[in-house]
Amino acid sequence: MGFEKNILCIGAGYVGGPTMAMIAHKCPQYRVTVVDINPKRIAAWNSGTLPIYEPGLDEIVKEARGRNLFFSDRIDQGIQEADIIFVSVNTPTKDFGAGAGMAADLQYWEKTARQIREVSRSQKIIVEKSTFPVKTALAMERILTATANGVRFDILSNPEFMAEGTGIRDLEYPDRVLIGSRETPEGLTARDELVEIYANWVPQERIITSNIWSSELSKLVSNAFLAQRISSINAVSSLCEKTEADITEVARIIGMDSRLGDKFLNASIGFGGSCFKKDILSLVYMCRQYGLDEVAAYWEGVVRINDYQKERFVLNMLETMFNTLAAKRICLFGFAFKANTGDTRESPAIYVSRRLLEERAELVITDPRALVNAEADLADVQGQVTFAEDPYEAAVGCDAIAVMTEWDIYAAMDFTRIYETMRKPAFIFDGRNILNHEDLFTMGFNVFPIGKPPLTHFC
Ligand SMILES: NC(=O)c1ccc[n+]([C@@H]2O[C@H](COP(=O)([O-])OP(=O)(O)OC[C@H]3O[C@@H](n4cnc5c(N)ncnc54)[C@H](O)[C@@H]3O)[C@@H](O)[C@H]2O)c1
């Protein structure tokens, strides 16, 4: 059967895989191919165990794979056959040279752009799916048109707003799909082609179009606002701990103001994930480049508070456990940066683990989906950490449990049973405020939530 369009995605990661699976699932009339330079990742996408865990992903991949969804490492062939190419490669923080530790590392998309230029023989629409600094599309246009081989490329910006853990639902019912284009006749025609793809399942009023720079900037700003909200509530949580105010009550009260809304007001150990920190730092770097130092400092504060929150958590553990953690056995409940994902990139659990090891604590880590990544993240301190699938087993003989990830299973556990197996006095540090603190206290635990008074049996 002939397909109406050939769609290619370069980058088979947390974004490329699920987004393309959704397009293939909703649009059997298109052929969708996902390519990657990492052959192991491609092999995993073609296997029974996908390389990432995302609720609902297995089902849609298995339904479409081999029908109109293909995973391949033949990048050149994929480019040649494609009408539309999504670029979904990683854009991590640069760790060398100018802007190290702050600017986005753009080498991956640049290589991709050059490869597209070298092998293309026919006109293509190139879609920025990765999160890029503003004006990347201009650089991309310049690279793609640097040789006069007569092939036409139109660049669009179509940033992805899905959140890991709810990625499939977000892709199926997005709050909005954003498509930025050049406002030339060719740019608008290319934009309409991409609108047509999403219109297969997304209501027209949720597909919004804008100029290409607004689109690039909106993605960065959207992540900066989300992270800012977490840092705001976390900053207040530290004040609650000093004043006997309760962050859950404060969040409920301010969240009832319809101007503020009640989302993203859970105080916690801090945000993680591959995007928030790197995107804010990229925004900060961009502001500095434009001479906007005050604006840069404002956004940088969001990251600073997040770092402070993680360190505060560790210092609180140290102080409350009698100012020494040496040889104390501490169990981390969860290692993923949030629930319902196996992703551990920038997870606060990494920072907390390293700090606890510095204090010479013994660590036991459990997580229902992230243990493989956790072991890789802590490979350099192998031997100092134990990994356990079963949280009950993990807690045996521990002095403390620290909740790092808000997995539902932890709230539903039998803590009386856990308490029996732990060393005394037993501590719980609830870095996500998901447990029933009163019940735990009654069982005998000393309980330290975020942003509310601790419940301890010490006079
Ligand atoms: N993870 C998220 O929740 C999320 C959400 C929205 C936007 N984003 C953005 O999407 C982009 C991708 O994020 P991700 O989490 O999917 O990253 P990822 O690291 O999981 O995936 C990127 C993939 O691109 C591949 N790649 C790199 N260079 C390549 C090349 N030249 N040719 C072919 N493949 C190449 C890598 O091997 C990797 O598999 C980033 O810009 C990120 O900021 C991520």
Determine if ligand 1 sits within 6 Å of the CB of residue 351: no
The answer to whether the beta carbons of residues 388 and 405 sit under 8 Å apart is: no
Q: Is 229 in the pocket of ligand 1 (CB under 6 A)?
A: no
pLDDT higher than threshold 70 for residue 236: yes
Distance CA 53, CA 58 (A): 8
Asked if 287 is an active-site residue, the reply is no
Torsion of the alpha carbons at 150, 36, 182 and 208, rounded to the nearest 10: 150
Q: What is the mean pLDDT of residues 172-181?
A: 98
* Phi, psi (deg, nearest 5) at residue 218: -60, -35
343 in contact with ligand 1, CB cutoff 6 A = no
pLDDT tens readout for residues 109-149: 999 999 999 999 999 999 999 999 999 999 999 999 887 67
Task: Please give the number of the atom of ligand 1 that sits closest to the Cα of 38.
Answer: 37
Instruction: Provide mean pLDDT across the span 232-244.
Output: 97
3-state secondary structure 237-286: HHHHHHHCCCHHHHHHHHHCCCCCCCCCCCCCCCCCCCCHHHHHHHHHHH
Residue 68 CB less than 6 A away from ligand 1 = no
Whether residue 119 contacts residue 150, with contact meaning beta carbons closer than 8 Å, is answered with: no
Tell me the CA–centroid distance for residue 88 and ligand 1, in Å: 5
Q: Which distant-in-sequence residues (6+ apart) come within 8 Å of 284 by Cβ?
A: 102, 296, 299, 300, 303
3-state secondary structure of 293: helix
Structure tokens at 261: 């809304």
Distance in Å, CA 14 to ligand 1 centroid: 7
Write down the pLDDT at residue 445: 98
Mutate to test the pocket of ligand 1, among 72, 215, 274, 283 (most ligand atoms within 8 A of CB): 274
Cβ–Cβ < 8 Å for 356, 316:
no
Can you tell me which atom of ligand 1 is nearest the CA of 132? 41
Per-residue pLDDT at 415 exceeds 80: yes
Please tell me the distance between residue 273's alpha carbon and the centre of ligand 1 in angstroms.
13
Coil, helix or strand at residue 212? helix
Does the structure show a pLDDT above 90 at 35?
Answer: yes
- Residue 105 confidence class, pLDDT cut points 50, 70, 90: very high
Which numbered atom of ligand 1 lies nearest the CA of 108? Answer: 28
Find the 12 Cα to ligand 1 centroid distance in Å. Answer: 7
CA of 274 to the centre of ligand 1 (A): 10
Q: Do the Cβ atoms of 398 and 363 come closer than 8 Å?
A: no
Which pLDDT score, from 0 to 100, does residue 432 have?
98
122 close to 161: Cβ distance less than 8 angstroms: no
Q: Within 13 Å and on the Cβ side, how many CA atoms surround 202?
A: 24
What is the DSSP track for 60-124? HHHHHBTTTEEEES-HHHHHHH-SEEEE-----B--SSTTTTTSB--HHHHHHHHHHHHH--S-E
What is the largest distance, in Å, between two alpha-carbon atoms of the chain?
Answer: 80
The pLDDT value given to residue 106: 93
pLDDT in tens, 322-364: 999 999 999 999 999 999 999 999 999 999 999 999 999 999 9
Answer yes or no: are the C-beta atoms of 366 and 333 closer than 8 Å: yes
> Can you tell me which residue has the tokens 């969240």?
255
Whether the CB of 38 sits within 6 Å of ligand 1: yes
Model confidence pLDDT, tens digit, residues 272-296: 999 999 999 999 999 999 999 999 9
Q: Residue 1: what pLDDT? A: 62
Whole-number pLDDT of residue 150: 84
Rg (CA), the chain: 24
Ligand 1 center–CA 425 separation, angstroms: 45
Cβ 81 vs Cβ 122: under 8 Å: no
104, pLDDT greater than 80: yes
* For ligand 1, atom 31: residue with the closest CA: 112
Average pLDDT, the chain: 97
Q: How far apart are the CA of 92 and the centre of ligand 1, in A?
A: 9
- Cβ–ligand 1 contact at 10 (below 6 Å): yes
The verdict on the CB of residue 15 being under 6 Å from ligand 1 is yes
Q: What is the Cα 416 distance to its own chain's centre?
A: 34
CA distance linking residue 111 with residue 114, whole number of Å: 5
Those residues with Cβ within 8 angstroms of residue 350's Cβ, 6 or more apart along the chain or in another chain: 272, 335, 344, 377, 378
What is the whole-number distance in angstroms between the Cα of residue 17 and the centre of ligand 1? Answer: 9
Say if ligand 1 is within 6 A of residue 89 CB.
yes
* 433-457 tens-digit pLDDT: 999 999 999 999 999 999 999 999 9
Q: What is the bridge-based pairing of β-strands 84-87 and 5-10?
A: parallel
Is residue 90 lining ligand 1, measured as CB closer than 6 Å? Answer: yes
**Catalytic one of 240, 275, 287, 331:** 275
Structure tokens, 206: 């949720």
Residue bearing the CA closest to ligand 1, atom 10:
130
Helices (H) and strands (E) in the chain, counts: 18, 14
> DSSP string of 329-371?
EEEEE--SSSTT----TT-HHHHHHHHHHHTT-EEEEE-SS-H
At residue 404 the predicted structure's pLDDT band, cuts being 50, 70 and 90, is very high
- The CB of 147 under 6 Å from ligand 1? The reply is no
Asked if 39 and 118 touch (Cβ cutoff 8 Å), the reply is no
pTM, two decimals, is 0.96
Average pLDDT over residues 158-186: 97
* C-alpha span between 134 and 140 (Å, rounded): 12
Separation of alpha carbons 113 and 73, rounded Å: 17
Taking the C-alpha atoms of residue 265 and residue 250, their distance in angstroms, rounded to an integer, is 9
CA-nearest residue for atom 44, ligand 1, is 15
Write down the pLDDT at residue 459: 78
Mean pLDDT of 1-26: 96
Indicate which atom in ligand 1 lies nearest the CA of residue 274.
Answer: 1
Cβ of 133 below 6 Å from ligand 1: no
